[in-house]
Structure 1
């Protein structure tokens, strides 16, 4: 059903993350069925599909966010640099620092702009001094394209920013703990077109520094920002490949029907 490589070659060929045979259950209900996919450093990977198809549920397996749901159960293998993220030896707090998440609705802490970004590095012990912490905050805000807009108001509340600025603040917060992977769950769905364009430009700039996975309902956005696209339908990964091929020459009839608007 997919073109994903076997697990033995996946880890050997340097994929940042590799999922094989992943199933997700909520109680007796199966939400994800036998999904296998790779995530690479040099690609932005987009997950597309109609509402309720499982793309956000699968995204949440990549940093164990489903652990927060009592009825959730995940089977299969998900590897980060060849390490099983569902192993009992995996430190989940460290995992979520390595695999950061940006949510659909901007969710800055009710703290200052500075403290929003400084919080993670402080609790993870990444800064040995105030000067070092200041540098991390400035660097993260710069990489998130927000520094010039907020550098004179770092003590203002993060919740006082516009929606688009709040989302870039949340991206800066994720970047500040030096992650390897950034997961974005429909990061532009609550934003206006101008703010959306800024987030998309930011994704382009961050590509290669981090492995990036974005869930989006917007097929045009997937085509603009990603190099790999995965199409989900009814909890299954129907097709996964180069974005250009998925949108111009899909191999599966269900993908073609979705791309051409026959359902969605």
Structure 2
């Protein structure tokens, strides 16, 4: 419904490929409603940022896009979310396949307790994308290159991924997500545990990956949202208050609640 997707006025027409759509999404944890009637379109050309104070529903909404809320017993999701026009909550949707197509990078880097090489090769192997070592070698190198990690990792591929620095581990997790050839990458506060230098590298990486994948990032850091995204959705108390071009949201928001949050009145 159009009224649920408030777009900043005066936006220039642009050719975008809508990758995922959400319409009237509600999420309950038991009796508590965490998300109320949220609708949004996610395109491949733009990085979309979800901002808002803690507990506003932004991570809950992000987790709807690859059905991570399925892992929470008390969670109930209603509404419609589509990937390339197909309902991801339909009974015939293969959830394992969905999560390969819609990858997730978590707040805390979580490499497998395996070698750097095996962290990358594991997904393509179990999804049947490659079995022979020469094919896996190509995927490992290209994924690490895309994640800006090849030069730092190429001489230590047999070392444990957990021995890397925090920033390197997070880029390894991004490389791991890329390795299964996803279409969408979800990032849930990917820099919150990192120092400023590692954060800058992740932000550069997000910019380089834009257009190759639809990217959605949840962030508490408004400056980060302003730097890395082209579209921003502001959440408050389980509702999406405003959605539009990042530049408009940060300089000329339509809603008073958005303006109050951006200017630091609450948060």
Q: TM-score range by the shorter chain?
A: over 0.9
Counterparts of 1:134-213 in structure 2, within 5 Å, are 134-213=137-216
Q: What is the CA-CA distance between 1:129 and the residue it aligns to?
A: 1.6
Residue by residue over 1:181-206, the C-alpha shift from the partner in whole angstroms, topping out at 9 and shown as x without a partner, is 00000000000000000000000000
Moved over 3 A (4+): 1-5
The equivalent residue for 1:59 is: 62
Query: Does 2:99 align with 1:96?
Result: yes
Q: Where does structure 2 lack aligned partners over 5 or more consecutive residues?
A: 8-15
The equivalent residue for 1:246 is: 249
Question: When the two structures are superposed, what TM-score results if normalisation uses the length of structure 1?
Answer: 0.96
Residue by residue over 1:98-123, the C-alpha shift from the partner in whole angstroms, topping out at 9 and shown as x without a partner, is 00000000000000000000000000
Q: What is the CA-CA distance between 1:15 and the residue it aligns to?
A: 1.0
SS in 2 for 1:16: strand
**Contact 1:2–1:238 under 8 Å retained in 2:** no
Query: Does 2:227 align with 1:224?
Result: yes
1:206 to 1:14, Cα distance in 2 relative to 1, 3 A: closer
The equivalent residue for 1:50 is: 53
The equivalent residue for 1:3 is: 5
**Contact 1:228–1:240 under 8 Å retained in 2:** yes
SS in 1 for 2:181: coil
Q: What is the CA-CA distance between 1:158 and the residue it aligns to?
A: 0.2
The CA distance in 2 between the partners of 1:180 and 1:145, in whole Å, is 19
The CA distance in 1 between the partners of 2:130 and 2:18, in whole Å, is 29
RMSD, aligned α-carbons: 1.0
Query: Does 2:20 align with 1:17?
Result: yes
Question: When the two structures are superposed, what TM-score results if normalisation uses the length of structure 2?
Answer: 0.95
Q: What is the CA-CA distance between 1:2 and the residue it aligns to?
A: 4.3
**Contact 1:2–1:240 under 8 Å retained in 2:** no
The equivalent residue for 1:8 is: none
**Contact 2:17–2:44 under 8 Å retained in 1:** no
